[in-house]
Amino acid sequence: MPEPTRNPDLTVKVGSLALSNPVMLASGTVGYGDEISKFVSLDKLGGIVVKGLSLEPVRGNRPRRIAETPGGMLNSIGLQNIGVEAFVEEKLPKLRQYDTCVVANIWGTTVDDYAGVAARLDREEGVHALELNVSCPNIKEGGISFGTDARQLHRVTSAARAATSKPLWVKLAPGVTDIGLLARAAEEAGADALSAINTIRGMMVDVARREPVLSTVFGGYSGPGLLPVALYLLFEVKRATPLPLIGIGGINELDHVLQFMTIGASAVQVGTANFYNPGFTGKMVDELIEWCAQHDVDSIEELVGSLQLPAGF
Amino acid sequence: MLEKRLVVDSVRHLNARCFVVAFRSGEVAAAARAGQFLMVSVTDAIDPLLRRPMAFCELLGPVTARTGFSILVERTGRGTTLMSRLQPETELEVLAPLGTAFRPPSDAEDQCCLVMGGVGSAPFPLLAGDLIAAGHDVTAFIGGRTADHLLCADDLDRLGARVVLATDDGSAGHHGLVTEPLQHHLDEATGGVTVYSCGPTPMMRAVDDIARARGLPHQVSLEAPMACGIGVCLSCVVPVQEADGGWSYQRICREGPVFDADSLIWEHPDA
Ligand SMILES: Cc1cc2nc3c(=O)[nH]c(=O)nc-3n(C[C@H](O)[C@H](O)[C@H](O)COP(=O)(O)OP(=O)(O)OC[C@H]3O[C@@H](n4cnc5c(N)ncnc54)[C@H](O)[C@@H]3O)c2cc1C
Ligand SMILES: Cc1cc2nc3c(=O)[nH]c(=O)nc-3n(C[C@H](O)[C@H](O)[C@H](O)COP(=O)(O)O)c2cc1C
Ligand code: FES
């Protein structure tokens, strides 16, 4: 008699937070869910990370804001967002109706800003976790990015930690010499999980005009070309800390999701692929179910951190 | 909004740079309105990565049973060069229809002036057809560097629009800017006029100066580099006047591409 087909168990845990599956939408690539939900049912996904929220609304950078590159794109949106208050009033009620985890990505230009946004969201039902975007300059400390200096990262994470009892994720910035050091700083300051990575810096030149393509000269590189960099940095973060991890960067097919998970990501976030293929994440969930069935994987969590390293590594 | 894999029906080259791609899809054609656009992938591979925004140029087949639509493309970079080599029966991923459409004149008696430059002609055959069907008198002002850069003149003429040409080098029509015959036409016009424009920014801005000076309603279709076309990336913004005197960024892919020219701030505000 043929085995009855069992549905593989796609649920994963990121610390205390359970996701229905490991596929999430990355911050800044799906707004607050309004438009993308026409292409993929949010109920089908593990979660959505909304566009980075600040205390006050932010207009963002002057155009031109994007440039296509080989294997990806640059952006310098400038963290345009409607502000945490309008998010709670206008966007959160709709997001609460979905059966998915809603993660609020938050940022600021001072430690107090981060704490303020975290405190404001702490009261809100339907926000399942906070993710700190630390790839922002600290204006009180000469503009050094919070994410590149272990002491500053510790301070901003501690401040957010004190302001919220919700699960706190820190999204690591890639432009650092030793990402493990920063991972440990976030861990010591009370982060519940780490997501990696944010965009890496890049620039493109319009030779005819002898000008940078982006109005801000340089911007954040994302898309398929980022994949090996992101996988490697996640690997380094995994070696540095026992915290649960979320893999981000360059995901363009199911194999990439599986690679992040094999290294040790409990979940992944998809960014740029939502732009050129808005239904992409729904397809990933379908393919993940099929892959588990084909590979006799009963629970996808079996894969997490199953990477076999060569002897002596 | 439809996410579709569509079949290229034909590719017709107009000159060394410009070509018309016809797609088969009654469904997309039935939903498309003049001024709206689509995002089309140029390859199934990941390079070039992003889809390209293109305006609906004409709807194909009878009004009650559309069979497809066409886009008019100017080859300017990698993506459009790849598109120029498309063969019939090739399949491409398309998101459509996207963005806002041109609105009909608020006065049913208005005559309409359509002002276009270069590949900015693309959305006008569809608009002209609609306006003429609704009984409006339509004049198309087509500008370009040379005669070779004037697009859609035959199509607009066939649809029943009066066509006025202008070239920078005098190789066809008026020798000079397309706004000069427009001014002249408006000087002679009696009754209400609604103006529509699409083309290089300096042209749209000059048309706007003329329309504002005469108090004429003016709709423009804008473009900007777009990563998504559906409103999620915030790459395509343009500064727009707010009622309270301030300004904000709006997305060309969602709040546009068609805007009331009145609401636009041509000179980017500081800070
Ligand atoms: C709403 C809208 C409607 C449009 N309709 C038409 C049309 O009907 N016919 C037509 O020929 N062109 C149209 N364009 C412009 C067209 O999208 C660009 O010429 C095209 O994307 C250039 O691609 P490329 O790969 O050849 O150029 P590249 O310079 O190699 O492109 C690099 C990147 O920049 C973007 N880009 C470059 N130039 C433009 C531009 N002018 N506008 C927007 N994105 C740009 C590309 O999409 C791509 O992401 C429209 C643009 C918009 C926003
Ligand atoms: C246009 C754009 C906007 C982004 N905005 C944010 C943001 O507001 N906050 C944040 O933490 N990350 C932001 N990111 C980074 C993504 O969430 C993601 O980390 C990065 O793009 C790498 O993943 P990808 O290669 O799948 O895009 C943005 C990325 C892009 C392309
Ligand atoms: S192109 Fe992405 S928001 Fe307009």
pLDDT digits (tens, 9 = 90+) for B62-88: 999 999 999 999 999 999 999 999 999
Q: Examine the pLDDT at B271 and tell me if it is beyond 80.
A: no
Listing from the earlier edge strand, what are the strands of the sheet with A72-75? Answer: A66-69, A72-75, A219-222, A200-202
d(CA A36, CA A179): 32
- Look at residues A89, A92, A32, A85 and name the one whose alpha carbon lies nearest to residue A55: A85
d(CA A83, CA A102): 16
Sorting pLDDT into bands at 50, 70 and 90, what band is A263? very high
Q: Examine the pLDDT at A2 and tell me if it is beyond 70.
A: no
Measured from the Cα of A198, ligand 2's closest atom is 19
Q: Examine the pLDDT at A4 and tell me if it is beyond 60.
A: no
If you classify domain A12-302 with CATH, what class do you get?
alpha beta
What is residue B165's predicted lDDT score, i.e. its pLDDT?
98
- Look at residues B61, B19, B53 and name the one whose alpha carbon lies nearest to residue B35: B53
Provide the shortest C-alpha distance from residue B224 to chain A (in Å).
8
Which domain, by its residues, includes B60? 2-98
Q: Which of A134, A136, A160, A261 is catalytic?
A: A136
Q: What is the DSSP letter of A90?
A: I
What is residue A227's predicted lDDT score, i.e. its pLDDT?
98
Q: Examine the pLDDT at A248 and tell me if it is beyond 60.
A: yes
* CATH number of domain containing B56: 2.40.30.10
Q: Examine the pLDDT at A5 and tell me if it is beyond 70.
A: no
Q: What beta strand segments (E) does B14-161 contain?
A: 18-24, 37-40, 52-55, 58-60, 68-74, 91-98, 111-117, 138-144
Sorting pLDDT into bands at 50, 70 and 90, what band is B52? very high
Secondary structure (3-state) at A40:
coil
Backbone angles phi, psi at A171, to 5 degrees: -95, 110
Sorting pLDDT into bands at 50, 70 and 90, what band is B176? very high
Contact A66 B254 (CB under 8 A): no
In this structure, the answer to whether residues B213 and B258 fall within a common structural domain is yes
In this structure, the answer to whether residues B150 and B33 fall within a common structural domain is no
Q: Examine the pLDDT at B220 and tell me if it is beyond 90.
A: yes
CA-based R_g, chain B, Å: 18
Measured from the Cα of B77, ligand 1's closest atom is 26
End-to-end CA distance of chain A: 46
To the query of whether residue A101 is one of the catalytic residues in this protein, the response is no
- Beta carbons within 10 angstroms of residue A206's beta carbon: 12
Interface test with A, best of B40, B42, B92, B233 (most A CBs within 10 A): B233
Q: What is the pLDDT of residues B231-251, one digit of tens each?
A: 999 999 999 999 999 999 999
In this structure, the answer to whether residues B209 and B167 fall within a common structural domain is yes
What is residue A216's predicted lDDT score, i.e. its pLDDT?
94
d(CA B31, CA B98): 10
Residues of A in contact with B93 (CB under 8 A): 277
Per-residue pLDDT, averaged over B209-236, amounts to 98
- Look at residues A40, A253, A276 and name the one whose alpha carbon lies nearest to residue B41: A276
B136 lines ligand 3 (CB under 6 A): no
d(CA B122, CA B156): 11
In this structure, the answer to whether residues B156 and B246 fall within a common structural domain is yes
CB proximity B16 to A under 8 Å: no
In this structure, the answer to whether residues B211 and B186 fall within a common structural domain is yes
Per-residue pLDDT, averaged over A264-290, amounts to 98
What is residue A238's predicted lDDT score, i.e. its pLDDT?
98
B232 lines ligand 3 (CB under 6 A): yes
Q: What percent of chain A has pLDDT over 90?
A: 94
Per-residue pLDDT, averaged over B96-116, amounts to 97
Query: Which ipTM did the prediction report?
Result: 0.96
Provide the shortest C-alpha distance from residue B270 to chain A (in Å).
9
B234 lines ligand 3 (CB under 6 A): yes
What is residue A144's predicted lDDT score, i.e. its pLDDT?
81
Task: List, as one string, the DSSP characters of B55-73.
Answer: E--EEES-TTS--EEEEEE
Q: Examine the pLDDT at B135 and tell me if it is beyond 60.
A: yes
Sorting pLDDT into bands at 50, 70 and 90, what band is A189? very high
Per-residue pLDDT, averaged over A134-158, amounts to 90
In this structure, the answer to whether residues B17 and B142 fall within a common structural domain is no
**Which of B64, B98, B132 is where one domain is finished?**
B98
Could you tell me the CA-to-CA distances from B166 to A120, B42, B176 in Å, in that order?
A: 59, 33, 6
Provide the shortest C-alpha distance from residue B51 to chain A (in Å).
6
In this structure, the answer to whether residues B132 and B224 fall within a common structural domain is yes
- H helices of A78-178, in order, are 84-86, 92-96, 111-122, 150-163
User: What residues does A195 pair with on adjacent strands?
Assistant: A171, A246
- Is B120 part of a structural domain of the chain? yes
In this structure, the answer to whether residues B182 and B63 fall within a common structural domain is no
What is residue A6's predicted lDDT score, i.e. its pLDDT?
67
A264 neighbors A284 (Cβ within 8 angstroms): no
- Is B190 part of a structural domain of the chain? yes
- Is B269 part of a structural domain of the chain? no
Domain residue spans of chain A: 12-302
Mean pLDDT over each residue of chain A, to the nearest integer: 96
What is the number of domains present in chain B?
Answer: 2
Q: Examine the pLDDT at A1 and tell me if it is beyond 70.
A: no
Closest CB to B227 among A34, A70, A73: A73
**Which of B98, B129, B147 is where one domain is finished?**
B98
In this structure, the answer to whether residues B16 and B143 fall within a common structural domain is no
In this structure, the answer to whether residues B157 and B133 fall within a common structural domain is yes
Q: What is the DSSP letter of A87?
A: I
Q: What is the pLDDT of residues A21-59, one digit of tens each?
A: 999 999 999 999 999 999 999 999 999 999 999 999 999
Q: What is the pLDDT of residues A87-98, one digit of tens each?
A: 999 999 999 999
Per-residue pLDDT, averaged over B17-31, amounts to 97
What is the separation of C-alpha B233 from the centre of its chain, rounded to a whole number of angstroms? Answer: 22
In this structure, the answer to whether residues B252 and B180 fall within a common structural domain is yes
CB proximity B93 to A under 8 Å: yes
Q: What is the DSSP letter of A126?
A: T
User: What residues does B248 pair with on adjacent strands?
Assistant: B240
What is residue A150's predicted lDDT score, i.e. its pLDDT?
96
Nearest CA to ligand 1 atom 9: B73
Per-residue pLDDT, averaged over B137-153, amounts to 96
B119 lines ligand 1 (CB under 6 A): yes
Per-residue pLDDT, averaged over B28-48, amounts to 96
Closest CB to A72 among B49, B51, B235: B49
Per-residue pLDDT, averaged over A58-77, amounts to 96
Q: What is the DSSP letter of A312?
A: T
A10 neighbors A300 (Cβ within 8 angstroms): yes
Residues of A in contact with B235 (CB under 8 A): 63, 65-66, 75, 77
End-to-end CA distance of chain B: 35
Q: What is the DSSP letter of A168?
A: E
What is residue B250's predicted lDDT score, i.e. its pLDDT?
98
**Which of B98, B130, B161 is where one domain is finished?**
B98
Q: Ligand 2: residues whose CB is within 6 Å? A: A 26-29, 51-52, 75, 77, 79, 105, 133, 171, 198-199, 222-223, 226, 248-251, 270-273; B 233
In this structure, the answer to whether residues B33 and B144 fall within a common structural domain is no
Q: What percent of chain A has pLDDT over 70?
A: 98
Nearest CA to ligand 1 atom 28: B77
Sorting pLDDT into bands at 50, 70 and 90, what band is A141? confident
